[in-house]
Structure 1
Amino acid sequence: MKVYISQLTETENIIDLLEKYDIGLEIVLFASPYCLDKQDEFIDIYKEELGDLYNKIEIGIHGPYADLCTGTRDNLISQVTNHRMQQAYDVAKKMDANYVVYHNGYYPKTYSYEEWLTRTPNYWKNFLKDKKNDKIKIHIENVHEDESYVINALMDEIYDEKTSACLDIGHVNAYSKIDVEEWIQSLGNYMKHMHIHNNYGDKDSHLAINKGDINIMEMLNKLKDKDITIALEINDVDELRESLDILYKNGFIKLREVVKNNI
């Protein structure tokens, strides 16, 4: 199990965590269309901010999601969606990232399951057809779904070694009528990435792993031998530090080995 932290604050606030722990960085900046349009400029900024760490840490990219719809019946919206998704994939290639996370984008009561599942698998098959031969993984994330059926049915159509599901447990706790354990069992081997954060079931709060309704450590202990990656999506930097300390003390992460040149 490889651990990443999702960057929800300025790099200067988390640089010491990246230096201390052997963890990866899931970059959220390129979820913004503005940053996608100026991607080369922002990639250069990242290289400068991370310095020597840039080539030492593993990187993931969180793709765009606002106003995008992979299951749309509108061809023009599909074109915009594809353009933004492709931009994020281009960023991942330029930054030598291991993966890109994209939202599934299904909103209950807007499209029927049947219509969504008629359109969405074809969208992803078309998007992926020229991307099979590189190392970048694609993880498709649940958000507002109230049960796992839609993303499971999508994975039935498109799952392979490159393309899998990202289970966001905070989204499940806030929006789903099914509990996290049932989602994990339902997705099974389709799940290769997870977003880890906690809440009290009332809203998507992005709290520390030890604050909220989900017993995250119990869940992670059951999954520790599974071939997955996880990213901590925790808003407050102090809570992120506390969560990493818990993971370190429980053996999920190690200290980063810093190799210094002999003088």
Structure 2
Amino acid sequence: MQKHISNVHVHMPYSLLPKYLKIILQNKLNLEIYFHHQILNRLDKSRCMETAKILESEGLKITFHAPFVDLRPGALDETIRRASIDRIRQVFDLAPYFHPLKIVCHASFDDRYYVYGDDLWLESSLKTWKEFIGLADDHRTIIALENVYEKNPVILGKLFRSLASDRICFCFDTGHFNVFSCEPLNVWFDELGRYTGHLHLHDNFGWQDEH
């Protein structure tokens, strides 16, 4: 069992780390640490550094989950796009403390919002993620772009082909696929299988985003 656990990262909001730290250390749990925007607003970086040192001393592997609430990294409005970049960048600024293997981010395409705007969204998204690819290279980490509201994998396929970087991969979220996708699993992996480098597994009964 421990062999399998060593390959899994447990999702853990940063705010809950102090509460569960003893259990994490006892069970040698690798973590995917989620930094909510409210946490980033009041983050104590000295305490953050101390926590990172404890996890590192136990040999635990870390990934990050970047904030996503209200963020639109593919926004057509340049002011909104830059605000989204500034917020996500705060997580990259913590990479020197934790040395995350990957940083999970939401691509955030939603055809209910970007009506007839696929190409414009793609153009804006490319500018955003090319900027972050440079940061990922500096920190020797990999960006994992996660599916959420995408009904099919086509637009994400275009994004990954255009980026063509070893510093970015696809994070396949099984629950989001189960709720929001209009296409079967084989269509997703035909399009994005070659880019898949991260997987989210969680409880979801297919009716709503329950995790």
TM-score bracket for this pair, using the shorter chain length: 0.7 to 0.9
1:35 and 2:40 matched: yes
Distance 1:197 1:137 in 2: 22
| TM-score of the two chains, using structure 1 as the length reference | 0.68
1:81 and 2:100 matched: no
Match of 1:97 in 2: 100
1:36 deviates by 5.1
Q: Please tell me whether the aligned partners of residues 136 and 142 of structure 2 are also in contact (alpha carbons under 8 angstroms).
A: no
- Mind listing any 5+ residue stretches in structure 2 that lack a counterpart? none
Match of 1:200 in 2: 205
Paired positions, count: 201
Query: What amino acid sits opposite 2:16 in the alignment?
Result: E
Q: RMSD of aligned C-alpha atoms?
A: 2.4
* Higher normalized helix content (fraction of residues): 2
Distance 2:169 2:38 in 1: 24
Distance 2:110 2:43 in 1: 29
Match of 1:122 in 2: 127
Match of 2:72 in 1: 69
Match of residue 171, structure 1, among 155, 171, 176: 176
Identify which range, 168-177 or 67-76, moves more after superposition: 67-76
- Mind listing any 5+ residue stretches in structure 1 that lack a counterpart? 207-263
Q: Deviations over 1:183-242 (max 9, x none)?
A: 233211201001111312101123xxxxxxxxxxxxxxxxxxxxxxxxxxxxxxxxxxxx
Cα separation, partners in 2 of 1:36 and 1:168, compared to 1, 3 Å? farther
Identical columns (%): 25
Distance 2:47 2:147 in 1: 27
Distance 1:198 1:59 in 2: 22
Match of 1:182 in 2: 187
Q: Deviations over 1:41-80 (max 9, x none)?
A: 5514634xx84x4431001111011111111121211221
| TM-score of the two chains, using structure 2 as the length reference | 0.84
Larger relative contact order, structure 1 or 2 (CA cutoff 8 Å, min sep 6): 1
